[in-house]
Copies of this chain bind each other. A is one copy, B any other.
Amino acid sequence: MAIPGYSYEFNHTHLLSIEDLSRLDIDHILDLAEEFAEATRAGKRPEAHLKNMTVINLFFENSTRTMSSFEIAAKRLGADVIAMPVAQSSVKKGETLIDTAMTLNAMAPDAIVIRHSASGGVKLLSRKVDCAVINAGDGTHQHPTQGLLDTLTIRRAKGRIEGLKVTICGDILHSRVARSTTMALHLLGAEVTLCGPATLMPSGADSWGAARALNDFDAAIKDADVVMMLRLQLERMNGAYLPSQREYFRNFGLTADRLKLAAPDATVMHPGPMNRGIEIESAIADGERSVITEQVEMGVAVREAVLKLLSGRRA
């Protein structure tokens, strides 16, 4: 989608939020990611763009899935990867986030991939280091590579993003996935409907670029080209948010019957890990419209693309 006569250059130091990206940036990342994905499918290793580089995976929250995806992506590009699940680290010893950042920076990595429980924690850290910082999820704020991999998966399934109707359903309030994916899809021209129980909807979701926010899943799913279900944190179940899993599934679970309300060729997505029988009926998760495992595949590819674009810029 490069404009003739317009010379595009990816010009970012970090990847902190979808908000920082232009439409051209996203197209560029997705195009590159798709090349990586096709290479992997063909059994080919990409060039070792990150040879002799060091990537630190700094995860303040457990996520085997996301951490492994980044680790595989970085190693495929030839990087050394230092895994730091910091549940049991200096952080417990009372060290501040800033001190952790400055300590790691002094070890001269080329990129740091960070997941942190505080919204804005990753941005704070990025200001203290000389290398690329990639946000792998900060609080309820952003998870930009998830937004990018969702967008790529949809683009591959539908051939475009522009003009698509996408419905995202679940715990929108606590979801950095919903926020990042909505922003990316909106920027590329999709019409996003957010849906969930009133207690789990944020107040300002229109600022993410969502067209609508509904509490009625039947209305929200109508004619959708893409239906993305969010993971329900089971700890929300026993509190003030929700009455019961059974009632949640009845109102907000994706079933075969409900899917009939969507467009006939609607694509089904879920960022994982799934609670089968709570957010989504098992048969639908495994059905032919599901691209849930392709999301995982595109996750590695998108991370390869982002790592390639951001590494090698150490100040």
> Looking at the complex, which one of B54, B83, B94 makes contact with A275 (CB distance below 8 Å)?
B94
| Residue contact A234 to B94, C-beta cutoff 8 Å | yes
Contacts of A222 in B (CB 8 A): none
> Looking at the complex, which one of B52, B65, B88 makes contact with A87 (CB distance below 8 Å)?
B88
> Looking at the complex, which one of B40, B43, B71, B108 makes contact with A40 (CB distance below 8 Å)?
B108
Complex formed: what's the CA distance from A276 to B75 in Å? 37
- CB of A84 to closest CB in B, whole Å: 6
A293 within 8 A of B: yes
Complex formed: what's the CA distance from A100 to B294 in Å? 14
Closest residue of chain B to A108 (Cβ to Cβ) is: B40
A9 within 8 A of B: no
Complex formed: what's the CA distance from A246 to B99 in Å? 22
From known contacts A105-B293, A234-B94, A272-B103, infer whether A54 and B75 are also in contact, taking CB-CB under 8 Å.
yes
Count class of interface residues, chain A: 35 or more
| Residue contact B45 to A62, C-beta cutoff 8 Å | no
A200 within 8 A of B: no
A106 within 8 A of B: yes
- CB of A110 to closest CB in B, whole Å: 9
| Residue contact B107 to A297, C-beta cutoff 8 Å | yes
Complex formed: what's the CA distance from A310 to B206 in Å? 52
> Looking at the complex, which one of B64, B93, B109, B297 makes contact with A273 (CB distance below 8 Å)?
B93
| Among A64, A86, A276: residue with most chain B CB under 10 A | A64
Complex formed: what's the CA distance from A154 to B297 in Å? 44
- CB of A234 to closest CB in B, whole Å: 6
Contacts of A108 in B (CB 8 A): 40-41, 72, 297, 300
Contacts of A62 in B (CB 8 A): 88-89
From known contacts A62-B88, A75-B54, infer whether A43 and B273 are also in contact, taking CB-CB under 8 Å.
no
- CB of A252 to closest CB in B, whole Å: 17
- CB of A55 to closest CB in B, whole Å: 11
* 11 further A-B pairs in the complex, CB-CB below 8 A; given A94-B273, A99-B274, A102-B296: A64-B86, A68-B107, A75-B80, A94-B234, A96-B276, A99-B273, A103-B273, A106-B293, A106-B300, A107-B296, A107-B297
Nearest first, the 5 A-B pairs at minimum CB distance are: A64-B89, A106-B296, A95-B273, A75-B80, A90-B273
Question: What is A's interface to B at a CB cutoff of 8 Å?
Answer: 40-41, 43, 45, 52, 54, 56, 62-65, 68-69, 71-72, 75-76, 80, 82-90, 93-96, 99-100, 102-109, 231, 234, 272-276, 293-297, 299-300, 314
